[in-house]
């Protein structure tokens, strides 16, 4: 199945404090309230303009820093389904998988796109097409694929 996604493009080293500020972590629990602060110190236009199905394309170390899962919840609640970066903070990557967001390392993609572009994601062939070029997505271990397919770790556990 091929889906299309409008992209938001960000650079290197966007840490979890920029994705979701630490000062809100113990007081905001409602996903909508969390989402309202998504990326507020980096791109104040994001939270109001993100649409379901949007993708984030970033440089190196997207989501480095704290383990805070709200930095994923905030984006998921706004409808982000796909995050592609040159590299990820390890915890952020795990948090994405566990919340059912497809996170993938695809070197070179972020230099080819600008915010507002539309990319094509082909789940069957595991590729992304952007600006006329096709990029292969890395393969996933079965356990990880099972979590993504269930819609996240929580969904998988509930089902069991």
Partner 1 sequence: MTGFTFVEKVPARAAGVESARAGEVLIVRPDLVFSHDNTAAIAKIFAEIGVARVFDPDRIAVTLDHAAPAPTTAHAQNHIEIRAFVREQGISHFFEIGRGICHQVISEEALILPGEVIFGSDSHTTHFGWMGAFGMGVGRTEMAALWATGSLWIRVPETLRVLLHGRLRRGVTAKDIALRLCADLTVSGGAYRAVEFAGNGMESLPLDDRPVLPNMMAEFGAMSAYMPPDQVVFDALEGRRTRPYTPIYPDADARYDQTHTIDLDALEPLIALPGSPDTVVPLSRIAGTPIQQGFIGTCTGGRYDDLAAAAAVVRGQTLRARLIVIPASRDVLARAAASGVLGDLIAAGAAIGTPGCGACMGNHMGVPAVGEASIISGSRNFHGRMGTPDAPIYLANAAVVAAAAVAGAIVPVESIEAVRS
The residue ranges that bind partner 1 (CB under 8 A) are: 13, 15, 17-18, 21-23, 25-27, 29, 41, 60-61, 64-67, 69, 72, 87-91, 93-95, 98-99, 141-144, 147, 152-154, 157-158
In the bound state with partner 1, the residue whose beta carbon lies nearer, of 15 and 127, is 15
What are the backbone dihedrals phi and psi of residue 127, each rounded to the nearest 5 degrees, phi first? Answer: -135, 160
The two tokens of residue 52 are 């379901």
Q: What is the nearest approach in angstroms of partner 1 to the Cβ of residue 77?
A: 14
- CA dist 46 and 67 (Å) reads 22
Residue among 111, 105, 98, 114 nearest 155 (CA): 98
Q: What is the nearest approach in angstroms of partner 1 to the Cβ of residue 137?
A: 16
Residue among 99, 95, 113, 6 nearest 59 (CA): 113
In the bound state with partner 1, the residue whose beta carbon lies nearer, of 53 and 59, is 59
């Amino acid at each position: 199945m091929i889906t299309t996604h409008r992209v938001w493009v960000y650079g290197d080293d966007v840490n979890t404090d920029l994705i979701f500020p630490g000062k809100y972590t113990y007081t905001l629990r409602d996903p909508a309230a969390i989402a309202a602060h998504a990326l507020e110190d980096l791109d104040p236009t994001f939270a109001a303009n993100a649409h379901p199905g949007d993708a984030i394309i970033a440089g190196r170390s997207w989501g480095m820093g704290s383990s805070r899962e709200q930095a994923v919840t905030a984006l998921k609640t706004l409808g982000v389904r796909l995050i592609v970066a040159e590299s990820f903070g390890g915890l952020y990557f795990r948090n994405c998988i566990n919340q059912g967001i497809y996170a993938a390392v695809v070197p070179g993609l972020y230099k080819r796109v600008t915010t507002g572009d539309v990319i094509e994601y082909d789940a069957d062939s595991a590729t992304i097409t952007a600006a006329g070029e096709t990029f292969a997505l890395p393969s996933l271990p079965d356990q990880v694929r099972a979590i993504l397919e269930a819609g996240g770790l929580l969904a998988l556990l509930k089902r069991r």
